[in-house]
Amino acid sequence: MGTLTTLSGAGRPHSVAIAFTYDSGIVRIITNAGSQKVKNIARTGFAAVCQVDGRRWLSLEGPASVHTGADEIAEAVAAFERRYRPAGDSPDRVVITIAVEHVLGRADGVAN
């Protein structure tokens, strides 16, 4: 679990709790098409995901996009289910992807 931060129409950070997967430089988040995070990404094309575990933390930032294709959704749902649990049904499901360009983090007491 982590947080997704996007920018609202007023330019303010919009941070929400999310479940995400990461593979080959791509973050994937399944969500509903009408969510504020989807609207923000459609407008700005950028997002960041952050995860914290005690003193260890990770931030993944980059260009973000929203995908509605059945194959992309199925791939993201399968990855989600491997990591978390079965995904519930959602007729308006979409996938947010972030192409990670910048990584920040701290592991074993050393910040990067």
> Domain limits of the chain?
2-111
Residue with tokens 């003193």: 55
Q: What is the mean pLDDT of residues 19-39?
A: 96
CATH topology assigned to domain 2-111: Pnp Oxidase; Chain A (2.30.110)
What pLDDT, on a 0 to 100 scale, did the predictor assign at position 107?
86
What average pLDDT does the structure give for the chain? 94
pLDDT in tens, 47-93: 999 999 999 999 999 999 999 999 999 999 999 999 999 888 888 99
Give DSSP secondary structure letters for 1-26: -EEEEEE-TTS-EEEEEE--EEETTE
